[in-house]
Structure 1
Amino acid sequence: MSPSDGSSGLRAGLRGLTTRGRSFLAAGLTAVACSYLLDQSALLHVGVLLAALPLTAALLLAGTRYRVASGRRLSPHRAVAGQEARVHLRIDNVSRVPTGLLLLEDKVPYVLGPRPRFVLDRVEPRGHHEVSYRVRSDLRGRYPLGPLQLRLADPFGMCELSRSFSASDVLTVVPQVQQLPHVRLSGEWIGQGESRARTLALAGDDDVILREYRPGDDLRRVHWKSTARYGELMVRREEQPQKARAAVLLDTREIGHRGSGPASSFEWAVGCAASVAVHLLQRGYQTRLLTDLGHCVPGPEAGGGGNTAADASGLILDALAVVDLSDGSGLSRAEDPLRASGEGLLVAVLGDLDEEQTARLARLRTRTGGAVAFLLDTGTWAGLRMIAPDTGGEEFQDRVRQLREAGWTVLPVRAGDSLPELWQAVDRAESPSPYREEAGA
């Protein structure tokens, strides 16, 4: 914050006069005028004193020469919906003179709560003060914090000048992630036997190549046939561990969801996608998020495989923090990314489906190593019908049956259902594959 000089500083100070300062100035000028009309010299002295006090405060405040720097730190930087986060502010006096009274106000969206305000009496030269406040949002999203506004005030409250810093931060509020039970899934790799064969089929060929011998290599890895061919020692590279792949498909179509706010079917679907994606990443799956628009958030294999599961989890949660309803009418744009990724586990979180969309999903099942569908009965979110746990609309039951006949593990979801309990039913032993039925025919 730089000082103001000359007439521009005085004008800024006059504009910053408070109600008290303006009242003193008006009373002083009135007393001066009355002293001439009434020929009272004592009243003139009082008027000059009253007018000089706010003018002096404005001039001194506008001519301050100290500099103030600010910093902001979020803890955590990525908050969970419904949980509090703390914002830490640091004010540094980088000048050689102490500051006067400082009033701080940080700009935050109304969703996070009221604007925090602080009063600092004095900051020593080269010193600093730290303050903090809490924010909380029940709605996921990305919320700007700042810029910080600083107001200078004189001890008598005659004048206030506002300064605004340019720096700001963003708080990301992600959906709540529920802990899911460990169940058997198609495509998982234990590392031996038939599990490993299935995983390699999902993840691709072994990364086995030859390279020149290096000091310290195990001689048992020497490939003698290639050594004889090239005339120098050649060894096998160790096989890289393979991971099963998974994709989480989120249906964001506005026509496929009902309800509004945090209690809508769409918000349940977003929370379900977040929980499933994080659960699969923790189990070692290379997981990515897809939407009906074809948007894809890569898993840990992105960037040459340098991303960890925690990095991929953060990317997916950040994407789900801002995902919104789309105006799409179908799921066709998600098919090409799924085909390009090859075989793997597919978990779809779906809203209302029509006959054509159900048929497309049924055909898509043949391209995946395993398929699980959370099919939302959105009528229960809109309160259109009160149904028993194992019943539903005739059309909804038809969609469930068609997907199951195509080999999907279908989990009907109704308002109020528990995601961990639904996930408990996802078991490959309980979902007979249509290919095994054909083989036994």
Structure 2
Amino acid sequence: MSAQGDPSGFRTGLRGLTTRGRSFLAAGVAAVLCSYLLGQEALLRVGVLLAALPLAAALLLLRTRYRVASGRRLTPHRAQAGQEARVHLRVDNISRVPTGLLMLEDKVPYVLGPRPRFVLDRVEPRGFREVSYRVRSDLRGRYPLGPLQLRLTDAFGMCELTRSFSAADTLTVVPQVQALPEVRLAGEWAGYGDSMARSVALAGDDDAVPREYRHGDDLRRVHWKSTAKYGELMVRREEQPQRARATVLLDAREIGHRGSGPASSFEWAVSCAASVGNHLLERGYQTRLLTDNGTQVPAPNAVGAGGSVSESIGLLLDSLAVVQHSQGSGLARAEEVLRLGGEGLLVAILGSLDDEQVANLGRLRRRAGAAVAFVLDTGTWAGLRRVFPDAGDHESDRQLRLLREAGWTVLAARAGDSVAELWRMADRHAQSAGDGSPVHKGASA
């Protein structure tokens, strides 16, 4: 992007006069008037000089013919909440004359901090200057950076003109992601494999389905039974490794969460979904994010949904960076999506539930190869159980018991709990050493 120092119109220069320039101009006009009233020629010369200085500075600034280009670079483009990102600015003088004093101001949202300002001295022809500043946000989201504003001033500080570049960038602040340990879940298999005897959790591409013959196919792969059935030459598909599927269900209902801001139960749930989704994608799972209103990421049949692991992680985190509360009262839409295609590993991050929702989740468990539920004790985020943190809620305990009886691996989460520690408790070997019901530890309500 570029800005040119040749604005049209002398009025623009007059509007750009600084307080100093206006004071000089006013003093010069006053001195000229007094010279006529008092008949003092010396005072007239002083007044003309005082008035001519700011006007000459404005005219000189208007007639400046240098061109300035600017670029911006973010490191990183995608930052976690609470993590600093650095913005690098570069200003190039692409004209043949040196610049004067330049003042830069980049426009940033208030949640990222104050607007950064820089003063650059003379930039030689074809030269450049680089500056940088840091931004940080505890709130996830997408924040625009720019456009960059350039202020031109003369050597005496009499006149100042502002020019804005057109380009802007976007900083994406994603939820905090915790590294999760490797665990083996009840009914779960690894992300990749080639065994046809695996459970329905894999649900990979069907390698036994033949396809039509194409020029160049090996005739030894002709599937004669299908050829006789369809009346045209059919060949067997090439064997491909199956890929396990996983669904991360995020309960975003506003009525299902408590607290506000970064310390709310909803933000903990979003961070949990990001951590689990990132972990499963790194293990080779074909992972999708599903919210309570039925939204899926990546969308069904989306172009590029089968990209690299890094691209899939980026898509997941970008979606979680902007996810907001839903106004729904139940999980019906998400349950419908899972009924149509809920095979594989199911990890649900749930807020407050009622008995009907617990019963529906119990029925959905039958379609999944493995099912893990993070059930948030949202009252601890609202500070309702600080006096007696070990006092059990009989209604919540009953719901957790029903989910376990339906086959879910239930992890009860409280404010301050670590996602990694809860995930470790889901290990089937750790559960087999006990009664199969993970015991909550380390709650800091």
TM over 0.5: yes
1:177-228 CA-partner distances (Å, limit 9, x unpaired): 101010013332363668x52267522522664656859x7x9x65596899
1:226/1:93 Cα in 2 relative to 1: closer, same or farther (>3 Å)? farther
Cα displacement (A) at 1:137:
1.1
1:300/1:76 Cα in 2 relative to 1: closer, same or farther (>3 Å)? farther
Rounded to whole Å, the distance in 1 between the matches of 2:310 and 2:300 is 8
Read off the aligned partner of 2:189 and give its amino acid letter.
Answer: E
SS of residue matched to 2:47: helix
1:262-287 CA-partner distances (Å, limit 9, x unpaired): 11111110110000000000111100
Structure 1 residue ranges without an equivalent (≥5): 433-441
1:102-150 CA-partner distances (Å, limit 9, x unpaired): 1110000111111111112122233322221111111111111001111
> Which stretch has the larger CA shift, 281-290 or 122-131?
122-131
Q: Which residue number in structure 2 is paired with residue 134 of structure 1?
A: 134
Query: Does the aligned pair in 2 maintain the 1:9–1:63 contact within 8 Å?
Result: no
Query: Does the aligned pair in 2 maintain the 1:202–1:369 contact within 8 Å?
Result: no
Rounded to whole Å, the distance in 1 between the matches of 2:387 and 2:240 is 51
Query: Does the aligned pair in 1 maintain the 2:189–2:201 contact within 8 Å?
Result: no
Query: Does the aligned pair in 2 maintain the 1:200–1:206 contact within 8 Å?
Result: no
1:372/1:299 Cα in 2 relative to 1: closer, same or farther (>3 Å)? farther
Cα displacement (A) at 1:303:
2.7
Rounded to whole Å, the distance in 2 between the matches of 1:228 and 1:249 is 43
Question: Is 1:403 equivalent to 2:403 in the alignment?
Answer: yes
Read off the aligned partner of 1:109 and give its amino acid letter.
Answer: P
Rounded to whole Å, the distance in 1 between the matches of 2:113 and 2:321 is 19
SS of residue matched to 1:197: coil
Rounded to whole Å, the distance in 2 between the matches of 1:124 and 1:59 is 22
1:281/1:207 Cα in 2 relative to 1: closer, same or farther (>3 Å)? farther
Question: Is 1:48 equivalent to 2:48 in the alignment?
Answer: yes
1:11-59 CA-partner distances (Å, limit 9, x unpaired): 0010011011111111111111111111111111111111100011111
Rounded to whole Å, the distance in 2 between the matches of 1:365 and 1:200 is 12
Q: Which residue number in structure 2 is paired with residue 339 of structure 1?
A: 339
Rounded to whole Å, the distance in 2 between the matches of 1:325 and 1:359 is 23
**What does residue range 93-104 of structure 1 map to in structure 2 within 5 Å?**
93-104=93-104
Read off the aligned partner of 1:348 and give its amino acid letter.
Answer: A
Q: Which residue number in structure 1 is paired with residue 68 of structure 2?
A: 68
SS of residue matched to 2:193: coil
Q: Which residue number in structure 1 is paired with residue 154 of structure 2?
A: 154
SS of residue matched to 2:203: helix
Instruction: Return the match for 1:191 from 193, 203, 209.
Output: 193
Read off the aligned partner of 2:282 and give its amino acid letter.
Answer: Q
Paired positions, count: 425
SS of residue matched to 2:281: helix
Read off the aligned partner of 2:49 and give its amino acid letter.
Answer: L
Rounded to whole Å, the distance in 2 between the matches of 1:192 and 1:242 is 6
Determine what percentage of the aligned residue pairs are the same residue.
70
Rounded to whole Å, the distance in 2 between the matches of 1:397 and 1:387 is 19
1:250/1:356 Cα in 2 relative to 1: closer, same or farther (>3 Å)? same
Query: Does the aligned pair in 1 maintain the 2:142–2:173 contact within 8 Å?
Result: yes
1:269/1:152 Cα in 2 relative to 1: closer, same or farther (>3 Å)? same
Cα displacement (A) at 1:95:
2.4
SS of residue matched to 2:198: helix
Read off the aligned partner of 1:420 and give its amino acid letter.
Answer: A
**What does residue range 237-316 of structure 1 map to in structure 2 within 5 Å?**
237-298=237-298, 302-303=302-303, 306-316=306-316
Structure 2 residue ranges without an equivalent (≥5): 433-445
Rounded to whole Å, the distance in 2 between the matches of 1:322 and 1:234 is 47
Higher fraction of helix: 1
1:180/1:387 Cα in 2 relative to 1: closer, same or farther (>3 Å)? farther
Rounded to whole Å, the distance in 2 between the matches of 1:224 and 1:272 is 47
Q: TM-score, normalised by structure 1?
A: 0.89
Q: Which residue number in structure 1 is paired with residue 436 of structure 2?
A: none
Read off the aligned partner of 1:99 and give its amino acid letter.
Answer: T
SS of residue matched to 1:172: strand
Rounded to whole Å, the distance in 1 between the matches of 2:335 and 2:430 is 26
Query: Does the aligned pair in 2 maintain the 1:95–1:125 contact within 8 Å?
Result: yes
SS of residue matched to 1:203: coil
1:391/1:281 Cα in 2 relative to 1: closer, same or farther (>3 Å)? farther
Read off the aligned partner of 1:165 and give its amino acid letter.
Answer: F
Query: Does the aligned pair in 2 maintain the 1:187–1:245 contact within 8 Å?
Result: no
Rounded to whole Å, the distance in 1 between the matches of 2:33 and 2:227 is 113
Q: Which residue number in structure 2 is paired with residue 439 of structure 1?
A: none
Cα-Cα RMSD: 2.7
Structure 1 segments, 4+ long, off by >6 Å, are: 226-230, 387-390
SS of residue matched to 2:43: helix
